[in-house]
């Protein structure tokens, strides 16, 4: 595998479910990001991890919980989501202090 991978690619869940999104980067980067992209909004930065420490949390509701166990893996744990949380969730990685970010293909999330 090369680049940034995300699983699953598609996810449908009910509002009471708990699920997790997974991201893995094979680029040797040390910063990872979660973004949300809705149909009617531009790309929104959710979380930033640098050297496995969370350095940015853009007022994201607590029903989204990130986890970065090492520099290659990033998770987004989801629970009690709302229908308005339906969106494309994108993971990206970069070298520390650089903005050349490499994105994964995204997870298309639908909350029923």
Partner 1 sequence: DAKTTQPPSMDCAEGRAANLPCNHSTISGNEYVYWYRQIHSQGPQYIIHGLKNNETNEMASLIITEDRKSSTLILPHATLRDTAVYYCTPAGGTSYGKLTFGQGTILTVHP
Which residues are near partner 1 by CB under 8 A?
4, 31, 33, 35, 42-43, 45, 48, 50, 55-56, 88, 90, 92, 94, 97-106, 108
Angle value at C-alpha 49, between 107 and 94, nearest 5 degrees? 75
Alpha carbons 17 and 4: distance in angstroms, whole number: 26
Q: Which two tokens stand for residue 31?
A: 């910063």
Q: Which of 20, 30 has the CB closer to partner 1?
A: 30
Q: Which of 41, 83 has the CB closer to partner 1?
A: 41
Q: Which of 62, 99 has the CB closer to partner 1?
A: 99
Q: Which two tokens stand for residue 59?
A: 């007022």
Residue 94's beta-bridge partner residues?
Answer: 31
Q: In the complex, what is the shortest distance from the CB of residue 48 to partner 1, in angstroms, rounded to a whole number?
A: 5
């Amino acid at each position: 595998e090369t680049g940034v991978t995300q699983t699953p690619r598609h996810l449908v869940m009910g509002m009471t479910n708990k699920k997790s999104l997974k991201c893995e980067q094979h680029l040797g980067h040390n910063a990872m990001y979660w973004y949300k992209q809705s149909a009617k909004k531009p790309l929104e930065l959710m979380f930033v991890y640098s050297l496995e420490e969370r350095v940015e949390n853009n007022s994201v509701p607590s029903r989204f919980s990130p986890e970065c166990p090492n520099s290659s893996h990033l998770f987004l744990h989801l629970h009690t989501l709302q229908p308005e949380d339906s969106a494309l969730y994108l993971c990206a990685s970069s070298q520390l202090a650089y903005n050349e970010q490499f994105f994964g293909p995204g997870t298309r999330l639908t909350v029923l």
